[in-house]
């Protein structure tokens, strides 16, 4: 009966949320970024969750129309600037996974600065997956250890972007689709997965709380009996 130490979320449904209210898709992303703040603060206040990982931008998201991609990056820049106090006031450590090289130097610097400023914070490690794709991460990891011999599971885990964070206990996907979309395929090999229909901007703490309660009831056997 353990609470999840690491929760990961595929935040889907921003676009549909906006269209449903007759708004432009980008306004759904705006609302989605407010939800990121709300859920992150909530997890920081819960003493039993140490890691929260959020899928904010995938390696596949570059295929979206340039206008939407530009908006998402602008939103990320604004978020990094505006939310610094959220991290400091709530003792949250900021972390990322994904290949940051794809972003411009201004964004990379903001990311690195926020990591540096929050590196000693202890209530929660919030990881944003940025230009993240599991297959891309695994390929980069293999390249980094290609000269090693007799590679074992630990060598691979240690070469992944997630080397400093434990595997995912609870994976939640909002927005009604039932797939992993190239998110943490290695790290979620024994995760409990919950798919909810609620669109990300509409997800409330109560719904997350209910999922955690259901998670706690699961007898996790990890292949044992
Ligand atoms: C999926 O919604 C969501 C994304 C592609 C990105 C997630 C981004 C945010 C929650 C906001 C930005 C976050 C930060 C931290 C700045 P979708 O557009 O695929 O929705 P749809 O399936 O309804 O079209």
Decide if 62 contacts 17 (C-beta within 8 A): no
Dump pLDDT digits (tens) for 36-86.
999 999 999 998 999 999 999 999 999 999 999 999 999 999 999 999 999
Average pLDDT over residues 116-136: 98
Determine the average pLDDT of the residues in 116-143.
Answer: 98
> Mapping DSSP to helix (H, G, I), strand (E, B) and coil, where does residue 103 land?
coil
CA distance 80 to 103: 14
Task: Find the Cα–Cα–Cα–Cα dihedral 64, 73, 169, 140, rounded to 10°.
Answer: 80
pLDDT band of 1, cuts 50, 70, 90: low
Sign of CA pseudo-dihedral 130, 134, 135, 141: positive
pLDDT of residue 93: 98
Q: pLDDT grade, residue 32 (50/70/90)? A: very high
pLDDT in tens, 85-116: 999 999 999 999 999 999 999 999 999 999 99
Looking up tokens 């009996």 gives 225
Is position 150 annotated as part of the catalytic site?
no
Q: What percent of the chain has pLDDT over 70?
A: 100
Q: Which of 115-119, 133-137, 215-219 has the lowest mean pLDDT?
A: 215-219
Mean pLDDT on 166-174: 98
* CA 55 to ligand 1: nearest atom: 7
Mean pLDDT, the chain, whole residue set = 97
Closest CA to 125 of 86, 88, 165: 165
Please give the average per-residue pLDDT across 127-142, as a whole number.
98
29 C-beta closer than 6 A to ligand 1: yes
Annotation marks residue 26 as catalytic: no
In short, whether 117's Cβ falls inside 6 Å of ligand 1 is no
Catalytic residue among 3, 5, 61, 182: 61
Query: In 10 A of CB 50, how many CB atoms?
Result: 20
User: What residue has token string 């209530």?
Assistant: 123
86: closest CA among 60, 117, 51, 49? 117
Q: What is the DSSP string of 151-199?
A: --HHHHHHHSTTTTSPPPSEEEE-SS----TTSSTTTTTT-EEEE--S-
Look up the pTM and report it. 0.97
- What are the distances in angstroms from CA 7 to CA 15, 43, 60, 147, 166? 23, 9, 22, 33, 10
Segment 12-33 shows an average pLDDT of 98
- The band of 220, judged by pLDDT with boundaries at 50, 70 and 90, is confident
- What are the phi and psi torsion angles at 176 (to 5°)? 90, -15
What are the residues whose beta carbons fall under 8 Å from the beta carbon of 178, sequence distance 6 or more? Answer: 195
Taking CA atoms only, the protein residue closest to ligand 1 atom 7 is 56
Question: Which pLDDT band holds residue 35 (cuts at 50, 70, 90)?
Answer: very high
Q: What is the mean pLDDT of residues 22-35?
A: 98
Averaged pLDDT for residues 125-145: 98
CA distance 60 to 143: 21
Q: Does the pLDDT of residue 146 top 70, yes or no? A: yes
Give the residue, by CA position, lying nearest to ligand 1 atom 8: 56
Distance of CA 225 to the CA centre of its chain: 31
Query: Considering only CA atoms, which of 116, 128, 110 is closest in space to residue 51?
Result: 128
Hey, CA dihedral for 122, 157, 57, 17, is it positive or negative?
negative
């Amino acid at each position: 009966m353990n609470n999840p130490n690491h929760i990961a979320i595929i935040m889907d449904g921003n676009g549909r949320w906006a269209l449903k209210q007759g708004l432009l898709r980008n306004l759904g992303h705006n609302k989605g970024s407010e939800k990121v703040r709300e859920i992150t603060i909530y997890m920081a206040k819960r003493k039993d969750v140490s890691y929260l990982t959020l899928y904010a931008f995938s390696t596949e998201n570059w295929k979206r129309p340039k206008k939407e991609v530009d908006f998402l990056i602008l939103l990320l820049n604004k978020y990094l600037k505006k939310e610094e106090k959220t991290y400091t006031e709530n003792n949250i450590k900021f972390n990322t996974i994904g290949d940051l090289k794809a972003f411009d130097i201004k964004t990379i610097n903001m990311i690195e600065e926020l990591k540096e400023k929050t590196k000693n914070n202890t209530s929660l490690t919030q990881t944003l997956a940025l230009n993240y794709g599991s297959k891309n991460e695994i390929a980069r990891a293999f390249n980094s250890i290609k000269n090693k011999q007799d590679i074992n599971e630990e060598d691979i885990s240690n070469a992944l972007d997630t080397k400093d964070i434990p595997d995912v206990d609870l994976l939640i996907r909002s927005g009604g689709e039932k797939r992993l979309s190239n998110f943490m395929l290695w790290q979620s090999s024994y995760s409990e997965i919950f798919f909810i229909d609620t669109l990300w901007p509409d997800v409330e703490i109560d719904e997350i709380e209910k999922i955690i309660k259901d998670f706690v009831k699961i007898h996790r056997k990890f292949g044992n009996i």
